[in-house]
Chain A
C-alpha cells in the first residue's frame, strides 16, 4: 500500500500496476503451461488466488491502520483504514465471483457449502460488508472512528482462520497449491503466479491511493465550504 512514508507518485504506481497486470495476462496465456488435470480452466487460478491474497492484504492493512488510530491516534489513520477495507471488500467480491466461475468449470457447481475455505471467505467478506453498516450508522466523529477501528481489528482475526482453513479441514475439495514442501506447480507456473500477485497488489495500491486522495480532497473541500459559509 502506498503509505505516505513511501512517497511513490501515483502516476508511477499506476504505470507499474498497468505494466504488471498487462504482463501477467500475457504470461498467463502465452507462457504458463496448460495444467495437465484441469486444462484451460486452471488459468483462472492466476487471477483468482492473487485477488484473494490482495483482499487479505487490504483487510490486514485496514486493521493495521485501525490499530494506529486506537494506539497512537495517528491523524488520518481512520480514513486510511476505511479505504483499505473498502478495497478489501471490492477484491473480496471479485474473489467470490471468479472462484464461483472456477468452481463451475472444475467441480460443476457454482458454490459448495462443503468447502470450509469458501464458507470462511464468505463469512470474512460479509463481516467486512457489515463494517460499512456500522460505520454509517454512527455520526461522523471520534466515536465513529473508534467503533470502526475496533471492528476492523476484530475482523483481522478471521484472516488467518480463512487462510489456514484449507489445511485445518480434511473433508475437502478445494485444491491445496502451497504446502510446507513449497508450491505444487512448475517453475513457469509459479513465476506467472508471482507476477499476477505483484500486479494485483500494485493495482490495489493504485486504487487505494486514488480513492484516498479523493476522500481527503472531499474532506478539505467540506472544511473550505464551512469556512466560506
Chain B
C-alpha cells in the first residue's frame, strides 16, 4: 500500500469511525430512554392499582 493510499484510507476511516461512534452514543441514550419509559410505565401501573385498591 502506497503512502497516498494509506492517508486516503485513514481519512475515510476517521469519518466512518466518527459517525459510528456518534451512532453508538445515540443508541446508548435511546437504551436509557427505553429503560426510563419502562420504569415510568411500572410507576403508572402501581399508581393505578393503588387508586383502584
Q: A residues touching B (Cβ–Cβ < 8 Å)? A: 25, 39-41, 43-44, 47-48, 51, 90, 93-94, 97-98, 101-102, 104-105, 203, 207, 210-211, 214, 217-218, 221, 224-225, 228
Contacts and interface: CB of A to CB of B under 8 A. Distances in A.
A18 to B, nearest CB: 11
B40 A221 contact: yes
Interface of B: 2-5, 7-8, 10-12, 14-15, 18-19, 22, 26, 29-30, 33, 36-37, 40, 43-44, 47
Given A101-B7, A224-B40, A228-B47, A214 B29 contact: yes
5 contacts: A48-B11, A105-B4, A218-B33, A221-B37, A224-B40
Nearest to A228: B43
Contacts of B37: 221
Nearest to B6: A105
B19 to A, nearest CB: 7
Given A211-B26, A221-B37, A97 B18 contact: yes
A225 B40 contact: yes
Nearest to B43: A228
Given A97-B14, A225-B36, 5 more contacts: A101-B11, A102-B11, A207-B22, A214-B30, A218-B33
A207 B19 CA distance: 9
B14 A210 contact: no
Contact of A40 (B2, B30, B33): B2
Nearest to B40: A224
Contact of A228 (B2, B22, B44): B44
